[in-house]
Amino acid sequence: MTTTTRLEPIDAQQMRAAASGASGLPVEQSEAWERFEISQGRGCWGRFAWFEGSKRVAVIALYEYRVRNWRYLWAKWGPVWIKEATPEREAALRADLAAHARATDPGLTFIRLHATYSAPDLRPLLQTMTFDRTIVVDTSSGTEEGILDSMPTDGKRSIRRALKRADEESLTLTEDTGVDEAGFAEHYAVLVETAERDGFRPHPASTYLSMLDTLGPEHARLFSMRDAQGRVLCWDIVLVNDRRAQAEYGASTDAARRLGAPPLLDYRVAAILGAEGVRGFDLMGIHSPRVPELFGVGKYKSAFAARYTDVPGGWDMPLKERTYAMLVSLLRLKYRAR
């Protein structure tokens, strides 16, 4: 007998309660994230629980975005699965979500969401890079020594060298959570240097400040490594929710890299988070067969854990196939023009 499935609208409190018995909510699926999206001019399109019969199996929150004049929905790190995410369940949830979106909001072009399994209704992301494999630093010990013990041999050597160099150069870790616009200017200058070196375009400084401000210190924190003169060498914006932490944004100067400051920053931040009860510190993405572009950064992050962790990658699910195909073509022409 075929199991009947359905979507049911829920509010933020119901969503949090539903996920509490599983692994909790990623910060991007939490109520706190809505404040940041609103600060960027985007609203929550809907929150839903997905049922098989009477059993609640997953929850999801979606926000409305635009690419040029076309609207789409984005469920960052959603859906959140309360039961096991099988290929059949993923496909059935998407089918129900697509049917609901087409019926209630015909102007939507596609839905961006996460899935473990590839499928005919999914497409590679427009523009944005995803990842389906990451490194999670084991913070369960709550100490620097315990974290070092959990790392592979090469990672231990790297951290020991960095600790020695930090002592020689009088490097210090500071928490800069709550920084104002003037104080963040130095951090942003480091980000601009990083972007020029690595070939990406940073958001305006206001985006990072809005994230820190709207999420607040409970969910968004800023850590920096500084030299003997107090200048910022490298920094991380760390997001936290339900005892899960992730390195959302970061930047480093060339001087920081020569001194081994970036891995030392991640190492010491992981220890701070672990001491506060965080269960793991996600370094947010390494290379995989789907995303070979992350090989370089993946080699750096792999020094922090003996094993990688598979995560659901991001995908686009077209609601209007012809319109979505036109968007793909337009982007190709844009890249060729560059």
176-207 confidence digits (pLDDT tens): 999 999 999 999 999 999 999 999 999 999 99
Give yes or no for residue 2 having a pLDDT over 80: no
Q: Residues 187, 200: one domain?
A: yes
Give yes or no for residue 3 having a pLDDT over 90: no
Within 10 angstroms of residue 14's Cβ, the number of other Cβ atoms is 15
Q: Residues 83, 215: one domain?
A: no
Distance of CA 327 to CAs 74, 280, 304, Å?
Answer: 16, 38, 39
Give yes or no for residue 92 having a pLDDT over 80: yes
pLDDT, position 338: 62
Q: Residues 290, 231: one domain?
A: yes
* Residue among 174, 175, 135, 169 nearest 155 (CA): 135
CATH at 158 = 3.40.630.30
* 317 Cα distance to chain centroid: 20
Q: Residues 144, 124: one domain?
A: no
Q: Residues 178, 262: one domain?
A: yes
Q: Residues 267, 214: one domain?
A: yes
Cis peptide leading into residue 79 (ω within 30°):
yes
Predicted TM-score (pTM) of the model is 0.94
Give yes or no for residue 105 having a pLDDT over 70: yes
Write the pLDDT tens digit of every residue in 197-247. 999 999 999 999 999 999 999 999 999 999 999 999 999 999 999 999 999
pLDDT band at residue 331 under the 50/70/90 scheme? confident
Give yes or no for residue 334 having a pLDDT over 80: no
pLDDT, position 290: 96
Q: Residues 193, 174: one domain?
A: yes
- Is-contact 293 129, C-beta < 8 A? yes
Domain count, the chain: 2
Q: Residues 106, 189: one domain?
A: no
pLDDT, position 68: 85
Domain residue limits at 144: 134-310
Q: Residues 298, 332: one domain?
A: no
Q: Residues 283, 176: one domain?
A: yes
Q: Residues 142, 119: one domain?
A: no
Question: Residues 77-84: what's their mean pLDDT?
Answer: 97
Q: Residues 9, 156: one domain?
A: no
Distance (Å, rounded) from C-alpha 220 to C-alpha 241? 9
pLDDT band at residue 1 under the 50/70/90 scheme? low
Position with higher pLDDT, 95 vs 332: 95
Instruction: Return the minimum-mean-pLDDT range out of 74-88, 130-144, 175-189, 321-335.
Output: 321-335
Question: Residues 20-25: what's their mean pLDDT?
Answer: 84
